[in-house]
Amino acid sequence: KVLLVGAGPGDPGLLTLRGYEALRQADVVLYDALVHSVVVNYADRAEKVFVGKLPHAKHCKAPDQDEINRKLVEYARQGKRVVRLKGGDPFVFGRGGEEAEYLRNHDIAFEIISGVSAGFAVPAFAGIPVTDRRFTSAVVFVTAHENPEKQSISVDWKKLAQLQATLVCFMGVKSLPEVARQLVQGGKPSSTPVCVIEWGTLARQRVVEGTLQNIALRAQSEKIESPALTVIGEVVSLRKTLDWFGRKPLIGKRILITRATADAGPFRSMLEAEGAVVCEAPMIKIEPARNPDPLDREIKERISRFGWILFTSVHAVEHFFSRLKSLGLDSRALGKSKIAAVGDKTTEALRAYGLEPDLVPRAFHSRELLRELQEKYFVRGQKFLWPRADIAPLDLKTELEQAGAEVTDIILYHTIADPEGQRRVAEILNAGPLDYAVFTSGSGVKNFFKGVSAKEIQQIKDKVVSIGPQTSQALREFKVSILAEAKQHNLDGLLQTLQDLSVGISTVSGKVSEPLRRGAVQPQRSAVKEDLKKKPEAAAPKSPLASRVQEAKARIQSHAPRTAAPKVQRFAPRPRRAK
């Protein structure tokens, strides 16, 4: 059986639930170029076959439609569950009808799983409703790139010019000058608003506005390329008030994250939800201990003798309970042992196994754990089990033993360098300048600065953001200048710090930085730019971005930098409700 699945317009969050379920059950996935890699990877157990055409790839021959059709039949006849994954909706300029007909002619069962079409989703992400009863109650989806094998062009642009309808043009960047010319010749006013949206629904979305008279030149000057969608009609004027995506605090910011691939997903999603372009270059890989026997022996023979079990990372939790399960045990095996967890994510991981930690230190590092253990509990004579990473500093064990405790530490997993991530750094930097480079662990710092070139290190100078003191210390060992360190040492605090930086707060002077005043780089912010030009003092209070600047200033000014690290600006978390 073959399932023709619409992947949506780009943002992985716009994939339908049925589409997701189809991917999870697939044996083979044939996917197009514009399908997001996150969506493709939902089919984690499937064979993945790329059948798309890469934009501007002149030397890479893409499979033609006949070849794709044959592959669908071939895989289906092998008894495999086949997903044909297409951008947008398979039946909207997606050749889904051709493929379904070919399958029917070859007696292959198929199913259509509709997707969110770019025709209305992309304009929505630019703040444009394709219909609005004040302007028009009709919308026309049209392609400006027809089948080259057809004898004649079927789209009569001059007739379309007579309609009181919004025109949404797919695949029309190259033909934009001709489309505009024919619409004007057909009677459409040259002053009709037009908007071209490149990479719609994604963080790299760019928007160029104009009229039928000047849109072709504006799109050319901004170097707009495929994939792009053009909206023509009076509804485009609503973008001035309805733009929401372009107002996100991290919109268009290129942010390098160095977390392990297995850990990067949640943070990547947090950043993308705020509009960031996330560049992943994992510096570490996590692998289970090569010899699990020591832990297995402690679990089977002596687990009940430990008064405390210390979990200092999410990985420790996951690998510990994986070993527990492999031995046919569950959390009941821990008996009356108390549990300590460092960090909110570690706490969440324990709760997933039905366990509530007895101690979670206020600050998310081992020194604070040690301090609170000694302050709140009787440590002398206690037996501690500490399943840890191979590279974990042994200060915790040493100081507990000095306080009279007995500590059994067992290497549960290994943290190793990821050479693929180190190679990716060059690709990321060649693609364009970064706004921020984010580090979340000392091991990630060491592998980065030992594995990349001096030229690449120079390119992230003054752009480094740290999650907390231990990571900052590792950065200082490599004489790296730190732009900012999160006050709250977790992913939420790190996100808040990046948001504060992005709205224009300088970590040195506290002044509004120049990126907000750039014109053509981010057309989404054109309204803010014009306000600043016309009335600098009066415009600021009305702008959402200006309000964020004022809030961020207040947060920063209320927290002086630590004397031990005068170069690092620490940001305060948002206030929490009192418990």
Domain ranges across the chain: 2-116, 120-243, 254-283+419-518+551-571, 287-417
Position 75 pLDDT exceeds 70: yes
Identity of the highest mean pLDDT range in 114-118, 199-203, 286-290, 524-528: 114-118
Q: How many CA atoms lie within 13 A of 166 on its CB side?
A: 26
Query: 20-62, pLDDT tens digit by residue?
Result: 999 999 999 999 999 998 899 999 999 999 998 765 555 556 7
Domain 2-116, what architecture? 3-Layer(aba) Sandwich (3.40)
Q: Name the residue among 374, 367, 359, 358 with its Cα closest to residue 392.
A: 367
Domain covering 254-283+419-518+551-571, topology: Rossmann fold (3.40.50)
Amino acid, res. 364: F
Q: What is the mean pLDDT of the chain?
A: 85
Query: 270-319, pLDDT tens digit by residue?
Result: 999 899 999 999 998 888 988 888 888 888 888 888 999 999 999 999 99
Identity of the highest mean pLDDT range in 90-99, 358-367, 422-431: 90-99
Amino acid 84: pLDDT:
98
| Known catalytic membership, residue 171 | yes
| Known catalytic membership, residue 243 | no
Answer for the pair 115, 5: CB distance below 8 angstroms, yes or no. Answer: yes
Position 538 pLDDT exceeds 50: no
Q: Name the residue among 437, 554, 536 with its Cα closest to residue 500.
A: 554
- State the residue for tokens 């170097």: 223
Per annotation, catalytic residue among 48, 53, 158, 345: 53
Per annotation, catalytic residue among 71, 80, 171, 296: 171
Query: 124-176, pLDDT tens digit by residue?
Result: 999 999 999 999 999 999 998 765 555 455 789 999 999 999 999 998 889 99
CB atoms within 10 A of CB 342: 24
Per annotation, catalytic residue among 11, 32, 263, 418: 32
Work out the average pLDDT over 249-262: 90
Amino acid 144: pLDDT:
80
Q: Can you tell me the distance from the alpha carbon of 105 to that of 72, in angstroms, rounded to the nearest whole number?
A: 12
Work out the average pLDDT over 486-510: 77
| Known catalytic membership, residue 174 | no
Q: Which residues pair with 65 in a beta bridge?
A: none
Domain range 287-417, CATH class: alpha beta
Amino acid 304: pLDDT:
84
Which one has a higher pLDDT value, 565 or 417?
Answer: 417
Widest CA span in the chain: 91
Position 542 pLDDT exceeds 50: no
CATH 3.30.950.10 fits 120-243, yes or no: yes
Amino acid 555: pLDDT:
53
Q: Do domains 120-243 and 254-283+419-518+551-571 have the same CATH topology?
A: no
Q: Can you tell me the distance from the alpha carbon of 555 to that of 544, in angstroms, rounded to the nearest whole number?
A: 17
Query: 499-537, pLDDT tens digit by residue?
Result: 999 886 544 323 333 333 333 333 344 433 444 444 444
Amino acid 530: pLDDT:
43
